Amino acid sequence: MLMNTLMPLAVVLAGVTAASSSNSCSFDDVTMTAAASVSQLASCPTLEGTLEITGNDLGSLSFNSVEEISGDIRIFNSSSITDVGFTQLSKISGSLEIDALTQLHVIDFSKLGEISDLSLISLPSLSTINLNTGVSKLNNLQISDTALSSLQGLITNVNTLGELDVNNNKNITSIDLGNLQTVKENLILSFNGDSCEINLDSLIWSSNLTIQDAGSISASELSAVNGSLIFGYNKFEKFELPVNKIGGALQIFANDDMTEFSLDNLTAVGGELRIFNNTELDNMAFQSLETVKGAVNINGSFSNFTMPELEEVDGDFTVQSDNDDFSCKSFKKLKSDNKIEGHNFKCIAPAKNTSKSGSASSGSLETETFEGSSSSGSSESDDDDDNSTSSSSKDSSASTLIGSGLVAIILTTVFSALI
């Protein structure tokens, strides 16, 4: 019987406390380091409990009778494991983590159709995952730092996900999630192959979406991101999303080749709006944006930045450009109309030359800056050159008159004393 088969293992390994039967093998915080111990798992249809497999004397691992993993299984930290076979495994209802196996080349998931939680991490030699019909139900999947060149069959048939994190897989040049409609938690596609092409054309909404170091992105049906939307370090020249609401932050940064983007349907940002270090980005427009619940922080070399429908910014507001064609005029009006409600407001642009001769000082670094606090109740100045000059002249004249009056009083007093 299977119980008798596993009894020696229970004696050798402290911590094997749960019973085993013809249907399952159950473990309680067991760590296996010997190939002989691991080989006894081959006859277990179901693995339950918490089991760790690690060590450098393991070689090829075969779990040919395992049909379901309902516990938490971790295979990690080995330089000897070359392949892992789960040829009969159809369901991971618990979790399976395969981590830091430097010589692992192949994983056989020939019958795997349902995954609750699967992590493949730091597997620099892993180039092949054998799948037959592919996975149809997937909750959480992380694939990080592998030699895989394709995710075909693993995520391509899935329409709903809990969380997907695919990062630092340098051989992956295309990620096709053309059937994916909903992501309940995080969708992270970051730092895979150079110019990685990403297809999310069926995605309707995601809780959080992060795209980094991609060559292109297509998400033609995306209407809402309930959390944060992040685009950073990408290679594409432009992107267009039909999204109309972002519940958290919107961050667009360090996209060195990007010259334009379109978020024309976006009406609300529930967190921070931050755009910076996009060196080729010259024109920005949020044509429909009405509300930003967090801060606005925009920095770059853009000549034009408009938000014609903006009605409310609840946080601090900072816009800064070193482009000579940029003007703060429209944002000053938003502030004076009390549409920007944050405590701090700042708009910085290169100073405009207002002299009649049309000449400017050589090497001038002057800027026009408009700052104010909505909570102070004090009047706010536009800090234009004319206003600044006029104010300085008035202060100087007043000081001169006061000084002259004091001199006259002193002389009169002295003269009276002498008489």
Is 397 a member of any domain?
no
Residues 147 and 252 in one domain: no
Q: In the prediction, which pLDDT does 369 show?
A: 54
pLDDT average, residue stretch 184-193:
98
Is 211 a member of any domain?
no
pLDDT average, residue stretch 183-206:
97
Report helix, strand and coil shares of the chain as percent, to nearest 5: 15, 40, 45
CB 176 within 8 A of CB 153: no
Is 170 a member of any domain?
no
Residues 89 and 14 in one domain: yes
Asked if the model's pLDDT at residue 363 lies above 70, the reply is no
Asked if the model's pLDDT at residue 201 lies above 80, the reply is yes
Asked if the model's pLDDT at residue 50 lies above 70, the reply is yes
Name the band, by pLDDT with cuts 50, 70 and 90, for residue 156: confident
**Which residue from 383, 290, 382 is spatially nearest to 339, judged by alpha carbons?**
290
Sequence letter at residue 233: Y
* 108 vs 95: CA distance, rounded Å: 17
Residues 134 and 46 in one domain: yes
Beta bridge partners of residue 85, listed in sequence order:
62, 108
Asked if the model's pLDDT at residue 63 lies above 50, the reply is yes
pLDDT average, residue stretch 354-370:
47
Is 18 a member of any domain?
yes
In the chain, the number of structural domains is 2
> 313: which 2 tokens?
């910014």
* 133 vs 42: CA distance, rounded Å: 23
Average pLDDT along the chain? 85
What percent of the chain is predicted at pLDDT more than 70? Answer: 79
Alpha-carbon distances, residue 155 vs 8, 40, 84, 171, 188 (angstroms): 40, 32, 20, 17, 13
Whether the pTM exceeds 0.75: the reply is: yes
Instruction: Report DSSP state, residue 41.
Output: G
Asked if the model's pLDDT at residue 399 lies above 80, the reply is no
Q: In the prediction, which pLDDT does 149 show?
A: 96
Lowest mean pLDDT among 79-83, 170-174, 187-191, 355-359: 355-359
Is 215 a member of any domain?
no
Is 171 a member of any domain?
no
> 345: which 2 tokens?
């407001």
Alpha helices, DSSP H only, in 292-384? 329-336
Residues 134 and 241 in one domain: no
Asked if the model's pLDDT at residue 392 lies above 90, the reply is no
Residues of the domain holding 81: 1-158
CB 351 within 8 A of CB 325: no
Asked if the model's pLDDT at residue 410 lies above 80, the reply is no
* 229 vs 95: CA distance, rounded Å: 28
pLDDT digits (tens, 9 = 90+) for 290-332: 999 999 999 999 999 999 999 999 999 999 999 999 999 999 9
Q: In the prediction, which pLDDT does 133 show?
A: 79
Asked if the model's pLDDT at residue 280 lies above 80, the reply is yes
What percent of the chain is predicted at pLDDT more than 90? Answer: 74
Q: In the prediction, which pLDDT does 341 show?
A: 94
Is 107 a member of any domain?
yes
Name the band, by pLDDT with cuts 50, 70 and 90, for residue 110: very high
Q: How many CB atoms lie within 10 A of CB 301?
A: 14
Q: In the prediction, which pLDDT does 17 show?
A: 39
Residues 136 and 253 in one domain: no
Helix (H, G, I), strand (E, B) or coil at 357: coil
Asked if the model's pLDDT at residue 405 lies above 60, the reply is no
Q: What is the DSSP string of 187-218?
A: EEEES-STTEEEE-TT--EEEEEEEESEEEEE
Is 168 a member of any domain?
no
* 305 vs 260: CA distance, rounded Å: 12
Final residue of a structural domain among 110, 130, 158: 158
Residues 255 and 111 in one domain: no
- Looking up residue 98, the CATH number of its domain turns out to be 3.80.20
* 234 vs 210: CA distance, rounded Å: 11
Residues 238 and 95 in one domain: no
Beta bridge partners of residue 292, listed in sequence order:
269, 313
